[in-house]
Amino acid sequence: MTYGWAILIVIIVAAALYALGVFNPATFTGRTATGFQTIGAPTDWDLASTTGNLTLNLANNKMATAITIYNITATISGTNTLYNPTTLVLGPGSSTTVTFPTTPVLTSGSTYTVKVSIIYNAGGLDHTDTGTVTGTVS
């Protein structure tokens, strides 16, 4: 009889923790940006569930010269999306916001990891800077 009550209490506690979202991995994923050794990590980012648009606030915080960004590739769940800006020049210390559609469109509240590759020209030479951004879909 005592074992039965103990098992019942464990089941009730587990159900309460599940209802509070303790076992949901999305509650453990914070917003992080890693990589981006040359240009610098985006200062802010968002992935919208309604449109699938990825918005990146890019800043030229590490380069002493102006850079021209030729394309940005975002990889979500193995699917690449290429963004080709017509003219995107960032001087030292300047920033800009880019928004482009991605696939697949994720549901609101789910977590994501996006690998971002930025191809740019600085001082006449082409370079690539890569990194990842993670967060929760808005």
Task: Look at residue 77 and give its three-state secondary structure.
Answer: coil
Helix (H) or strand (E) holding 134, with range, is: strand 125-136
Is the model more confident about 87 or about 116? 116
pLDDT at 1 over 90: no
Across 88-103, average pLDDT: 88
According to DSSP H, which parts of the chain are helical? 2-19
Task: Quote the pLDDT of residue 10.
Answer: 92
pLDDT at 26 over 60: no
pLDDT at 11 over 90: yes
Local structure of residue 116 (DSSP, 8 states): E
**pTM as predicted:** 0.74
pLDDT at 27 over 60: no
pLDDT tens string 81-91: 888 877 789 89
Confidence grade of residue 29 (pLDDT, cut at 50, 70, 90): low
117 has which bridge partners?
73, 130
Helix (H) or strand (E) holding 45, with range, is: strand 44-47
Determine the topology of domain 31-136 in CATH. Answer: Immunoglobulin-like (2.60.40)
Domain chopping of the chain, boundaries = 1-27, 31-136
Confidence grade of residue 55 (pLDDT, cut at 50, 70, 90): very high
What is the spatial distance between Cα 59 and Cα 81, in angstroms, rounded to a whole number? 21
